[in-house]
C-alpha cells in the first residue's frame, strides 16, 4: 500500500514536460504496479494471425506472471488461454510456437481440445467432471492481422480501436502475409524507457545512420503534434488517399493509439540502405504501388509498426522486470514471396537489426544514468519530444485514477 501511495504522490506532484522520477524506471514495487494496473488490465498485442494460419497452430507468450497460449481452433477462430493446466498447474504448452491437434500437458497428459475444453484425463475418480476443468480463457481479438489479448476479467471495449485501425490496415492484408524473420532482443531498461526512446527522433541523426537514409527525422512524423500542418505529410496523405489508402493522422481521445501514413526520404520505398525495395513482390495484392511511404501505428503499451509497400516491420514490447524489456521484431512479406528469389533476407532485415541494436544501447545507457543517485527528472524538448511528453502523460493519466481506486484514505 505504501508503494501505491508513493507512486500516486509522485504522479500527482510530477512536473509536466519532465521525465519521471527514478523509481518509475528502477523500483520493483513500481514495476509490480505497472504490471497490475497496465499490463494485467489492458489490451496487449501478442502476435499475428498469419503465425497461427492453420487449426492447431499455437504460440505462447509470457506477460508478467501469466503464461498464455494463443491457438487457432478447428473452426478457424483464434483463442487465448491461460497456459496453466487445470490439474496441478503445469504449463501445458512449453514450446515458443508449434502445431498440435490437441494441447497435451506434459506432466500427466491431461488433454485439451483447441477450444480449451478438457477431453481426456487419465484414471480420475468416477464422479470427475471434465467439463469443469477446461483451460481458462483469456480475452482475445484479431484486427487487421494483429492479435490482441486482455488479461482483465472485464476487458475495456476493443471496438473503438478496431474501428480506427481496421480501415488503415485492411488494404495491406497482413492477416495473410508471412513472417520472413523474427528477432527478440532484451534491453536492460524499464519498458517505459523503451517507449520514451521510440516516441522521438531527436536521437535519430546521431544514432541511426542506416535508418536516417530513409526515415524522416521530422517530429511531425514520429510525434503527435503538427502533422496536419506539415506540407509533406498533407501531400503524402492526399496521394495515398487518392489511391484508396486511409492515411491521415488519427489518435484516440486518451492518446493510447495513433495511426498515420508518412513519406520516406528521397522517394525511398523501403527501409534499405539504398531506399530501393527489399522484396520484389508487393506485400499486398490490393496495393498496386510501392510509393506509399510508411503506415505508422502505435498502441501503448505493446506495439509500434511500420507498413511499407513491400514489407511490414512490427514490434512487440513485453516487460521482463523493472529493468529489462523484451522487444520482438517481425518482418512480414507477401505469403508467396520466396527467400533468395524475391528477397535477400539480410538485405530485408539489415536496417532494423542495426536500428534495434542502436536503440538497445541508447536505452541501456539511459537506464544506467537514471540509476545514479544524482539523477533528477529533466525537461523534454517540446519541439522534438512531443511524442514522449504525450506517452508520459498517457501513462500518468492511466495510472493515477487506478492507483487512487486502491489508495489508502488519508488519515
Footprint of ligand FES on this chain (CB under 6 A)? 85, 87-90, 105, 107-110
Task: Kindly state the smallest distance separating residue 59's Cβ from ligand FES, in Å.
Answer: 20
Task: Kindly state the smallest distance separating residue 360's Cβ from ligand FES, in Å.
Answer: 37
Out of ligand 3BY, ligand FES, Fe ion, none, which partner does residue 108 contact, by CB within 5 to 8 A per kind? ligand FES
Nearer to ligand 3BY, 145 or 223 (CB): 223
Nearer to ligand 3BY, 27 or 359 (CB): 359
Taking the CA of residue 302 as centre, how many other CA atoms within 13 Å lie in the half-sphere pointing to its CB? 22
Nearer to ligand FES, 62 or 90 (CB): 90
Out of Fe ion, ligand 3BY, ligand FES, none, which partner does residue 88 contact, by CB within 5 to 8 A per kind? ligand FES
Nearer to ligand FES, 89 or 369 (CB): 89
Out of Fe ion, ligand FES, ligand 3BY, none, which partner does residue 222 contact, by CB within 5 to 8 A per kind? ligand 3BY
Considering only CA atoms, give the Rg of the chain.
22
Task: Kindly state the smallest distance separating residue 197's Cβ from Fe ion, in Å.
Answer: 6
Task: Kindly state the smallest distance separating residue 85's Cβ from ligand FES, in Å.
Answer: 3
**Interface characters, 341-360, with Fe ion (x: CB under 5 A):** ------------------x-
Distance of alpha carbon 302 from alpha carbon 318, whole angstroms: 7
Out of ligand 3BY, ligand FES, Fe ion, none, which partner does residue 110 contact, by CB within 5 to 8 A per kind? ligand FES
Distance of alpha carbon 361 from alpha carbon 318, whole angstroms: 18
Task: Kindly state the smallest distance separating residue 217's Cβ from Fe ion, in Å.
Answer: 11
Task: Kindly state the smallest distance separating residue 185's Cβ from Fe ion, in Å.
Answer: 13
Task: Kindly state the smallest distance separating residue 32's Cβ from ligand 3BY, in Å.
Answer: 28
Cβ(151)–Cβ(274) below 8 Å: no
Cell numbers linked to 198: 521510440
**Looking only at Cα atoms, what is the longest distance across the chain?**
73
Distance of alpha carbon 182 from alpha carbon 48, whole angstroms: 12
Nearer to ligand 3BY, 62 or 207 (CB): 207
Distance of alpha carbon 213 from alpha carbon 369, whole angstroms: 29
Task: Kindly state the smallest distance separating residue 142's Cβ from ligand FES, in Å.
Answer: 28
Give the chain's count of helices (H) and strands (E). Answer: 10, 17
- Give the list of residues 6+ apart from residue 310 with CB closer than 8 angstroms, or none: 269, 270, 277, 278, 279, 280, 281, 282, 283, 290, 333
Cβ(222)–Cβ(233) below 8 Å: no
Task: Kindly state the smallest distance separating residue 362's Cβ from Fe ion, in Å.
Answer: 6
Out of ligand FES, ligand 3BY, Fe ion, none, which partner does residue 39 contact, by CB within 5 to 8 A per kind? none
Nearer to Fe ion, 204 or 332 (CB): 204
H helices of 243-283, in order, are none
Nearer to ligand 3BY, 318 or 399 (CB): 318
Out of ligand FES, ligand 3BY, Fe ion, none, which partner does residue 136 contact, by CB within 5 to 8 A per kind? none
What angle separates helix 2-12 from helix 386-406, to the nearest 10 degrees?
Answer: 140
Nearer to ligand FES, 106 or 244 (CB): 106
Cell numbers linked to 29: 514495487
DSSP per position, 65-83: TEEEEEEE-TTS-EEEEES
Closest CA to 333 of 172, 179, 175, 147: 179
Distance of alpha carbon 195 from alpha carbon 189, whole angstroms: 10
Nearer to ligand 3BY, 180 or 307 (CB): 307
Distance of alpha carbon 389 from alpha carbon 366, whole angstroms: 17
- Give the list of residues 6+ apart from residue 110 with CB closer than 8 angstroms, or none: 85, 86, 87, 92, 104, 118, 120, 121, 122, 133
Out of ligand FES, ligand 3BY, Fe ion, none, which partner does residue 240 contact, by CB within 5 to 8 A per kind? none
**Interface characters, 359-378, with Fe ion (x: CB under 5 A):** x-------------------
CA 80 to chain centre: 17
Nearer to ligand FES, 88 or 371 (CB): 88
Point out which residues bind ligand 3BY (CB under 6 A): 198, 201, 204, 211, 222, 304
User: Using CB under 5 A as the criterion, which residues of the chain lie in contact with Fe ion when the complex forms?
Assistant: 359
Amino acid at each position: 500500500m505504501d508503494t501505491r501511495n508513493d507512486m500516486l504522490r509522485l504522479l500527482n506532484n510530477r512536473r509536466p514536460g519532465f521525465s519521471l522520477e527514478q523509481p518509475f524506471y528502477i523500483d520493483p514495487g513500481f514495476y509490480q504496479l505497472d504490471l497490475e494496473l497496465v499490463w494485467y488490465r489492458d489490451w496487449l498485442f501478442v502476435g499475428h494471425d498469419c503465425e497461427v494460419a492453420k487449426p492447431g497452430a499455437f504460440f505462447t507468450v509470457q506477460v508478467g506472471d501469466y503464461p498464455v497460449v494463443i491457438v487457432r481452433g478447428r473452426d478457424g477462430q483464434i483463442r487465448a488461454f491461460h497456459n496453466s493446466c487445470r490439474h496441478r498447474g503445469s504449463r501445458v504448452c512449453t514450446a515458443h510456437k508449434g502445431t498440435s491437434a490437441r494441447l497435451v500437458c506434459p506432466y500427466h497428459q491431461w488433454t485439451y481440445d483447441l477450444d480449451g475444453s478438457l477431453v481426456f484425463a487419465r484414471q480420475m475418480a468416477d464422479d470427475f467432471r471434465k467439463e469443469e476443468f477446461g483451460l481458462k480463457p483469456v480475452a482475445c481479438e484479431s484486427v487487421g492481422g494483429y492479435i490482441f489479448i486482455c488479461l482483465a476479467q472485464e476487458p475495456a471495449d476493443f471496438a473503438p480501436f478496431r474501428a480506427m485501425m481496421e480501415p488503415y490496415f485492411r488494404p495491406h492484408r497482413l492477416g495473410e502475409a508471412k513472417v520472413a524473420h523474427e528477432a527478440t532482443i532484451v534491453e536492460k531498461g524499464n519498458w517505459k524507457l523503451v517507449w520514451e526512446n521510440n516516441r522521438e527522433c531527436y536521437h535519430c541523426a546521431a544514432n541511426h545512420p542506416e535508418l536516417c537514409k530513409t526515415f524522416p527525422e521530422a517530429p511531425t512524423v514520429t510525434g503527435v503534434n503538427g502533422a496536419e500542418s506539415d506540407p509533406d505529410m498533407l501531400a503524402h496523405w492526399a496521394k495515398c488517399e487518392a489511391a484508396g489508402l486511409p492515411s491521415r493522422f488519427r489518435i484516440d481521445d486518451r492518446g493510447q493509439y495513433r495511426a498515420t501514413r508518412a513519406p520516406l526520404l528521397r522517394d525511398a520505398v523501403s527501409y534499405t540502405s539504398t531506399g530501393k525495395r527489399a522484396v520484389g513482390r508487393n506485400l499486398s495484392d490490393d496495393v498496386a504501388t510501392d510509393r506509399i511511404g510508411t503506415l505508422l501505428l502505435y498502441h501503448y503499451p505493446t506495439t509500434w509498426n511500420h507498413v511499407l509497400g513491400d514489407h511490414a516491420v512490427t514490434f512487440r514490447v513485453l516487460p521482463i522486470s523493472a529493468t529489462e524489456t523484451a522487444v520482438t521484431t517481425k518482418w512480414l512479406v507477401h505469403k508467396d514471396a520466396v527467400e533468395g528469389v524475391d528477397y535477400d533476407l539480410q538485405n530485408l532485415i539489415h536496417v532494423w537489426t542495426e536500428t534495434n541494436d542502436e536503440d538497445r544501447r541508447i536505452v541501456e545507457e539511459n537506464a544506467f544514468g537514471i540509476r545514479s543517485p544524482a539523477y533528477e527528472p529533466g525537461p523534454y524538448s517540446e519541439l522534438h519530444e512531443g511524442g514522449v511528453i504525450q506517452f508520459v502523460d498517457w501513462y500518468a493519466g492511466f495510472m493515477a485514477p487506478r492507483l487512487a481506486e486502491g489508495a489508502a484514505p488519508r488519515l
